[in-house]
Amino acid sequence: MRDTTTPWQQSAACRSVDPDVLFKDHREQKEVKTVCTACSVRTECLAEALDERIEFGVWGGMTERERRALLRRRPNVDSWWKVLNSVS
- The predicted model scores a pTM of 0.85
Q: Residue 77, by phi and psi: left (phi above 0), alpha (psi -120 to 50) or beta?
A: beta
Extents of the domains making up the chain: 7-78
Could you tell me the pLDDT band of residue 7, with boundaries at 50, 70 and 90?
confident
How long is the chain? Answer: 88
Share of residues in the chain with pLDDT > 90 (%) = 50
**pLDDT score recorded for residue 5:** 66
Could you tell me the pLDDT band of residue 60, with boundaries at 50, 70 and 90?
very high
**pLDDT score recorded for residue 84:** 92
Q: Distance (Å, rounded) from C-alpha 84 to C-alpha 43? A: 7
Judge whether residue 6 has pLDDT over 80: no
